[in-house]
Structure 1
């Protein structure tokens, strides 16, 4: 199953990155499909990725030394590693109960360095900065490019 995991860049900058579980992830859930019944798979995946980007801001708020960039990791995990939440905060939210290593990561999506000020402000609760971030797309990186992701 494809999931989108909120992350911070420092989690990926280790020699052998592993995203530990349990953690909230995002995916194309029945609730997401029900919310937007006329959308297609690509649209649902984009919505799940956007939910993970918002989750990355929450992680950044608790990690003041981390580079201020939203990070989303797309990963393919066994279905048994994903559990439904009783009361999900957003329709795409699920609980990931298994760690994710580099071999399961498909791609990494990161803000461009120019977004760093807005990311830091949004992580601190600035609604205007959050609105500006909604206009920005995350940049796509292959997992082999993780060491080359530019940091502000």
Structure 2
């Protein structure tokens, strides 16, 4: 059985290929939940991944506490919903959540992509310049990520490039 996890990254990093990936997932107890409780645990894992991506993009992560991204600087964040093998390495991240280690991204195991709305990302970048990284992260935290099907990746990459 696969572990649904959430990879914080960027479209630019996806274009060049991800390796040595760290993703966020509910811990074993969270994965055993059902119904609304399970959906809440999954949503919270995605939100943690999104916060880690924001921190890394704006350079506010503490050394060793955030999931490293493939590139530095404010590059638009994307969260990849991914079904990692049960045999993947797992380490406690925080109460109820784990970091899942993934050696190489298998595109057939990608369930979906979640991106910031372009206008919201642009606002966050401007806030980072004028009011600081924390203001940018707060703005991103106020908005929802847009859902994209795995079949839309080529189009998303073309639009970015």
TM-score (norm. length: structure 2): 0.71
Segments of structure 2 that go 5 or more residues without pairing to the other structure are: 60-70
Kindly indicate whether residue 122 of structure 2 is the aligned counterpart of residue 117 of structure 1: yes
User: Secondary structure in 2 aligned to 1:27?
Assistant: strand
Deviation at 1:46, TM superposition (A): 0.7
User: Secondary structure in 2 aligned to 1:84?
Assistant: strand
Deviation at 1:125, TM superposition (A): 5.2
User: Secondary structure in 1 aligned to 2:26?
Assistant: coil
1:13-49 CA-to-partner distances (Å, cap 9, x unmatched) read 35xx4x211x33111115768xxxxx61111111000
Q: Distance in 1 between matches of 2:15 and 2:78?
A: 12
Kindly indicate whether residue 74 of structure 2 is the aligned counterpart of residue 76 of structure 1: no
Aligned residues: 140
Kindly indicate whether the alpha-carbon contact (under 8 Å) linking 1:57 and 1:119 is maintained by their aligned counterparts in 2: no
Query: Could you tell me which residue of structure 2 aligns to residue 51 of structure 1?
Result: 48
1:89-126 CA-to-partner distances (Å, cap 9, x unmatched) read 57424131422221111100000110223443459952
Q: Quickly say closer, same or farther: Cα 1:30–1:80, change in 2 above 3 A.
A: closer
1:75-100 CA-to-partner distances (Å, cap 9, x unmatched) read 11111113123xx2574241314222
Query: Could you tell me which residue of structure 2 aligns to residue 26 of structure 1?
Result: 24
| Higher strand proportion | 2
- Runs ≥4 in structure 1, deviation > 4 angstroms? 30-33, 121-125
TM-score (norm. length: structure 1): 0.75
Q: Distance in 1 between matches of 2:76 and 2:124?
A: 6
User: Secondary structure in 2 aligned to 1:4?
Assistant: strand
CA RMSD of aligned residues (A): 2.9
Deviation at 1:127, TM superposition (A): 1.9
